[in-house]
């Protein structure tokens, strides 16, 4: 493993620790629009946009592992969902070819909706059931809006702090990856 | 080893997905003493001091947010409270009369009055250090665990500041469903899977108070023949062995009937305002003779006063939801 890869790994680990600390300590306790932001998902999306599908999937898997521990969920549920999100967001960005704040907003919104929908399916199978439109109105849509709105400034902050590559640099590397 | 980067990424993705599904399967199938649960319990144990600290660190943020949120409605609230004050002043005179009457009657009642909770009940005051992240579930995490005597299925009560539309602020919170050494998870009565055998004071109508994903409480299985009036107090009936009798739950806000339903549809507003729940009290109930009620897993249908319901077994610890 080269020095450059070690630096990337170090930054990913730093982000991961930050995500765990912030989600567990602060974010999960602050409710906006009746829901709390899912920082694990948000960072998975940002990593996938900035670093690619494999890094996104890896980050999502471990983020899901910690989410399961922190929120008393059966281990594996969030691993599965975040891994899917990380991988497909990375794939999407590699194909779409342009990463503007609006694209980040769109990706984060769709990711949050998909993640909530999958988690809803899981809950529907093993836990409480509720009318589809009720849960869309009180959980999925507010969560989608909140996650999407939070993702954009965090993404821009991370680019500014060089925790992830700037979109143009990232796009060049993704294109060269040929995926 | 895959030959190119794209194949390598796909391979990693497939491995992670398989690992996730394997973890999920093991989580559901293995016993509570299994390795995955042990890791999860250990992880939760490590995170709990952080969460406890975080609860204190987050207080200024929460207070700030609440202050900003409430300042918008402060003017409207003030007008409403002024009107309410006038109404209450009138009621206060009436209540004073009643209080004097009650004082006289209380002397007689004291002769055979028993406490709300069973004798020898011990109380453990705990701080709320975490809350459920989604509306699918309604639970809180408290900073007391098995080291403090907390066990699964112990009832939890609480007191909150009176919300604008909450009539009391004191009452039943829920029951303990998961316990670690230093923390416990409390299922709130507004959880969609919660059900509490209850009765309505005055009418003596009995039924089941159920939570919902939207956070509202409904009392079900009350016969249509029984007359139920709004503003009656709903208390636990004590059936099922989890909750002691006569613990206040909430107040009847609306009574509905449908032609196709043989039961009434009664909406109940809980006394406790779960949005601002900060401290709770776990009731360490004395064990019944010849049995250990607090550690016995009580089937959900018993908790519901004998009415069958769907039951979900959570893999983290032995709980009935």
Phi, psi at B285, each rounded to 5°: -75, 145
Task: Compute the mean pLDDT over every residue in chain A, rounded to the nearest whole number.
Answer: 81
Query: b/e string for A76-115 if b means 16 or more Cβ within 10 A?
Result: bbbbbbbbbbbbbbbbbbbeeeebeeebbeebbbbbbbbb
Return the closest-CA partner of residue A132 out of A111, A116, A148, A115: A116
Rounded to an integer, the average pLDDT of A90-108 is 87
CATH 2.40.10.340 assigned to B122-303: yes
Alpha-carbon distance A49 to A60, whole Å? Answer: 12
pTM over 0.80: no
The residue range of the domain holding A73 is 3-28+35-171
Measured in angstroms, the CA of B321 and the nearest CA of chain A are apart by 9
Residue B269: its H or E element: strand B263-270
Answer whether B205's CB lies under 8 Å from B199's CB.
yes
Of the partner residues A29, A31, A58, the one whose CB lies closest to the CB of residue B54: A29
Using an 8 Å CB-CB cutoff, list chain B residues near A113. none
Domain for residue A130, yes or no?
yes
Q: Do A54 and B134 touch (CB under 8 A)?
A: no
Give percent of chain A above pLDDT 70: 86
Alpha-carbon distance B175 to B196, whole Å? Answer: 10
Domain for residue A137, yes or no?
yes
- Convert the pLDDT of each residue in B114-131 to its tens digit: 446 677 778 888 888 888
Q: Number of structural domains, chain A?
A: 1
Alpha-carbon distance B145 to B142, whole Å? Answer: 8
**Beta bridge mates, B185:** B141, B178
Answer whether B190's CB lies under 8 Å from B175's CB.
no
Q: Kindly give the interhelix angle for A53-70 and B35-72, rounded to the nearest 10 degrees.
A: 90
Count A/B contacts: CB-CB distance under 8 Å. 157
Whole-number pLDDT of residue B201: 87
Domain for residue A178, yes or no?
no
For residue A77, give the chain B residue with the closest CA: B24
Length reported for chain A:
179
Low-confidence stretches of chain B (pLDDT < 70) are 1-3, 58, 62, 69, 97, 99-117, 161-169, 287-321
Alpha-carbon distance A59 to A47, whole Å? Answer: 7
The band of A174, judged by pLDDT with boundaries at 50, 70 and 90, is very low
> CA quadruple B313, B316, B317, B321: dihedral positive or negative?
negative
CATH number of the domain at A150, please: 1.10.1760
Whole-number pLDDT of residue A26: 65
Domain for residue A125, yes or no?
yes
Q: Which long-range contacts (CB under 8 A, 24 or more apart) does A6-14 make?
A: A8/A51, A8/A55, A11/A163, A11/A164, A12/A47, A12/A51, A12/A55, A12/A58, A12/A59, A14/A163
Using an 8 Å CB-CB cutoff, list chain B residues near A174. none
Q: Who has greater pLDDT, B314 or A12? A: A12
Complex ipTM over 0.90: no
Alpha-carbon distance B26 to B47, whole Å? Answer: 22
Answer whether B188's CB lies under 8 Å from B197's CB.
no
Whole-number pLDDT of residue B101: 54
Answer whether B146's CB lies under 8 Å from B9's CB.
no
Compute the CA torsion angle B257, B262, B264, B270 (nearest 10 deg). Answer: -130
Domain for residue A57, yes or no?
yes
Which B positions 43-82 lie with beta carbon below 8 A of chain A? 43-44, 47, 50-51, 53-55, 57-58, 61-62, 65
Compute the CA torsion angle A41, A75, B55, A134 (nearest 10 deg). Answer: 60
**pLDDT(A172) > 70:** no
**pLDDT(A53) > 50:** yes
Answer whether B247's CB lies under 8 Å from B188's CB.
no
Give percent of chain A above pLDDT 90: 23
Using an 8 Å CB-CB cutoff, list chain A residues near B40. 68-69, 75
For residue A53, give the chain B residue with the closest CA: B9
Measured in angstroms, the CA of B186 and the nearest CA of chain A are apart by 12
- Tell me whether A38 touches chain B (CB under 8 Å): yes
Return the closest-CA partner of residue A140 out of A118, A157, A155, A125: A118
Whole-number pLDDT of residue B319: 34
The band of A24, judged by pLDDT with boundaries at 50, 70 and 90, is low
- Tell me whether A137 touches chain B (CB under 8 Å): no
Measured in angstroms, the CA of B273 and the nearest CA of chain A are apart by 14
Whole-number pLDDT of residue A112: 93
Q: Do A53 and B13 touch (CB under 8 A)?
A: yes
SS3 assignment, position B294: coil
- Tell me whether B232 touches chain A (CB under 8 Å): no
- Convert the pLDDT of each residue in A121-165 to its tens digit: 888 887 666 777 777 888 888 889 988 998 998 888 888 877 777
Whole-number pLDDT of residue B300: 39
């Amino acid at each position: 493993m080269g020095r450059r890869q070690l630096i990337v790994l170090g930054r990913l680990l730093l982000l991961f620790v930050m995500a765990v600390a912030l989600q567990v300590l602060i974010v999960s306790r602050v409710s906006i629009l009746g829901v709390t932001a899912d920082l694990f998902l948000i960072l998975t999306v940002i990593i996938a946009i900035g670093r690619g599908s494999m890094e996104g999937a890896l980050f999502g898997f471990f983020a899901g592992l910690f989410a399961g521990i922190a929120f008393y969920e059966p281990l594996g549920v969030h691993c599965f969902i975040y891994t899917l999100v990380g991988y497909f967001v990375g794939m999407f960005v590699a194909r779409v070819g342009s990463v503007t704040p609006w694209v980040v907003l769109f990706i984060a919104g769709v990711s949050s909706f998909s993640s909530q929908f999958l988690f809803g399916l899981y809950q529907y199978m093993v836990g409480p059931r509720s009318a589809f439109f009720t849960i869309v109105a009180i959980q999925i849509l507010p969560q989608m809006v909140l996650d999407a709105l939070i993702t954009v400034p965090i993404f821009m902050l991370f680019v500014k702090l060089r925790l992830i590559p700037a979109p143009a640099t990232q796009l060049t590397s993704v294109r060269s990856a040929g995926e | 080893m895959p030959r190119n980067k794209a194949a390598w990424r796909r391979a990693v993705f497939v491995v992670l997905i398989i690992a996730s599904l394997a973890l999920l399967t093991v989580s559901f199938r293995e016993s509570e003493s299994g390795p995955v649960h042990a890791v999860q319990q250990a992880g939760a144990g490590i995170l709990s001091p952080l969460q406890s600290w975080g609860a204190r660190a987050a207080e200024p943020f929460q207070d700030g947010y609440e202050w900003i949120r409430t300042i918008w409605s402060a003017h409207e609230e003030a007008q409403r409270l002024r009107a309410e004050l006038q109404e209450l002043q009138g009621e206060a005179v009436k209540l004073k009369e009643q209080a004097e009457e009650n004082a006289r009657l209380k002397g007689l009642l004291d002769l055979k009055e028993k406490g709300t909770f069973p004798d020898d009940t011990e109380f453990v005051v705990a701080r709320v250090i975490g809350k459920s992240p989604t509306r699918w579930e309604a639970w809180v995490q408290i900073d007391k665990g098995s080291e403090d005597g907390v066990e699964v299925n112990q009832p939890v009560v609480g007191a909150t500041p009176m919300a604008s539309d909450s009539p009391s602020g004191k009452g039943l919170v829920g029951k303990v469903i998961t316990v670690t050494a230093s923390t416990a998870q409390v299922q709130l009565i507004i959880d969609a899977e919660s059900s509490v055998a209850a009765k309505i004071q005055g009418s003596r109508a009995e039924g089941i108070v159920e939570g919902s994903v939207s956070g509202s409480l409904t009392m079900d299985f009350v016969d249509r023949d029984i007359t139920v009036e709004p503003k009656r107090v709903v208390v636990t009936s004590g059936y099922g062995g989890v909750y002691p009798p006569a613990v206040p739950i909430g107040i009847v806000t609306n009574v509905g009937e449908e032609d196709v339903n043989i039961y009434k549809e009664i909406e109940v507003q809980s006394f406790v305002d779960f949005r601002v729940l900060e401290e709770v009290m776990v009731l360490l109930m004395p064990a019944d003779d010849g049995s250990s009620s607090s550690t016995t897993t009580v089937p959900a249908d018993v908790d519901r006063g004998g009415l069958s319901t769907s039951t979900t077994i959570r893999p983290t610890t032995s709980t009935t939801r």
